[in-house]
Structure 1
Amino acid sequence: MSTITPGTEESIETNWRPLAIAGGLIAVLGLIAAALPFGTGIALAYVLGAALLVGGVVHAGHAFTTDGWAGSLWQAALAGVTIVAGLLILANPLIGLASLTLLAIAYLLVDGLTEVVASLRMGSGSGRGWVAASGVLSLVLAGLLWAGFPVDAVWVVGVLVGASLFVTGVSMIAVAYGTRRMERHVPEPGEKSRGV
């Protein structure tokens, strides 16, 4: 969780337009990503493959430059596995897309189970129904994606990334316009508030 540094509120209040424009651009990118889910997923798979390849090379460099370290053999083995995984994904990005889809399914499964268990431990009247409903929805989504795997892999990642970008952009716009409204209602220093 990020903390707001002193003076940040003022800078957002007086410069809300850049935040709103950035939010709008991110929201549009999210819509494009969701509209082109296969292309988005393939692009992300290439990024994942490249990241694994670079990470493997870094591990290999570390393993071969540290003399006498007991863990260098394990580091070299990890480097080899990481490089092979990166090369496989770069050679066939559908493998990366399928892997990312499996990660999304695993996330939804763990999230759903966690929320259902948490709702069972909550007291009545504390929003436990909403938490339980969210958990059940995550479990249903995980089940549907698993049932459609691997065919659904071509669109799931792109739609999820697009939706995430869109929600992030909209929230940035909301923050920008919220601070704009606060700016209009904050009295100037020395200005007296009007009595009712």
Structure 2
Amino acid sequence: MSDWLKMLLLGLLSIVFGVFILGAPVVASIAVTAITGILLLISGGLQLVGGFTVEGTGNKILSILMGAIMLFLGWSFLAHPLQGTISLAMLILILFMAGGIARVILSFQMRGTAYFWPTLISGVLSIVLAGIIWTNAAAEPAWLLNLVGILLGIEMLFNGFGLLFAALFMRSAEENT
């Protein structure tokens, strides 16, 4: 399977998930927080167990400490989903900003093609979404819970369309070479 086709399929999948997330943003926010908590618990447990098998006192201490921190964070996300969602909102802010900047840079590599403007707009809108989270970070947690789900759904759509445009650009570049 060619790279552009893989990117196209990934873009379509991202769009489908974005639509599902927008259908139930609060549920999506809580689900993401719960999944993050579970993954942190699993990672922390494995890190803790692995800490007893590594060589060197410093490595043991660091590994066990990291495992304990991940276990605590996982438990915290599951026990306090609203606070966990606020923490994830800050992480999402960083990811939206990074993804938006990356798409803006990618768009300038596509200058002169039909994909320049859609990719540029996708990147700029991701940066705007990061700004919305930043300006509303101190808002009511329940409102932020809904906002995170909505923004995550919108970002999935933007990401999906960005991947579609990049895939079509890659396909046209392959055909022209």
TM-score range, shorter chain: 0.5 to 0.7
Paired residue for 2:174? none
Residues 112 and 134 in structure 1, CA contact (< 8 A), matched pair in contact too = yes
| 1:104 Cα deviation after fit | 1.9
Given the superposition, is the C-alpha separation of residues 133 and 158 from structure 1 closer, same or farther in structure 2, using an over 3 Å criterion? closer
Asked if 1:84 corresponds to 2:61, the answer is no
Runs of at least 5 residues in structure 1 that lack an aligned partner in the other structure: 5-22, 169-196
Asked if 1:57 corresponds to 2:48, the answer is no
Q: Which residue among 112, 127, 133 is the counterpart of 1:125? A: 112
Asked if 1:147 corresponds to 2:135, the answer is yes
Given the superposition, is the C-alpha separation of residues 33 and 119 from structure 1 closer, same or farther in structure 2, using an over 3 Å criterion? closer
Asked if 1:94 corresponds to 2:82, the answer is yes
Paired residue for 2:94? 106
Tell which deviates more after alignment, 46-55 or 127-136: 127-136
- Bigger radius of gyration, 1 or 2? 1
User: C-alpha distance in 2, partners of 1:38/1:140?
Assistant: 21
Residues 36 and 158 in structure 1, CA contact (< 8 A), matched pair in contact too = yes
User: C-alpha distance in 1, partners of 2:19/2:116?
Assistant: 32
- TM-score w.r.t. the length of structure 1 is 0.58
Residues 108 and 139 in structure 1, CA contact (< 8 A), matched pair in contact too = yes
**SS of 1:149 mapped into structure 2:** coil
Residues 129 and 151 in structure 2, CA contact (< 8 A), matched pair in contact too = no
Paired residue for 2:147? 156
Asked if 1:136 corresponds to 2:127, the answer is no
| 1:71 Cα deviation after fit | 1.8
**SS of 1:62 mapped into structure 2:** helix
Residues 101 and 156 in structure 1, CA contact (< 8 A), matched pair in contact too = no
RMSD between aligned alpha carbons?
3.3
Tell which deviates more after alignment, 64-73 or 143-152: 64-73
- TM-score w.r.t. the length of structure 2 is 0.63
Quick check: which one's helix share is greater?
Answer: 2
Tell me how many residue pairs correspond in the alignment. Answer: 143
| 1:76 Cα deviation after fit | 0.9
Residues 106 and 142 in structure 1, CA contact (< 8 A), matched pair in contact too = yes
| Aligned amino acid, residue 78 of structure 1 | M
Aligned residues with identical type, % of pairs? 27
User: C-alpha distance in 1, partners of 2:105/2:19?
Assistant: 34
Residues 98 and 150 in structure 1, CA contact (< 8 A), matched pair in contact too = no
Given the superposition, is the C-alpha separation of residues 34 and 132 from structure 1 closer, same or farther in structure 2, using an over 3 Å criterion? closer
Runs of at least 5 residues in structure 2 that lack an aligned partner in the other structure: 3-12, 161-177
User: C-alpha distance in 2, partners of 1:148/1:161?
Assistant: 15
| Aligned amino acid, residue 125 of structure 2 | L
**SS of 1:65 mapped into structure 2:** coil
**SS of 1:71 mapped into structure 2:** helix
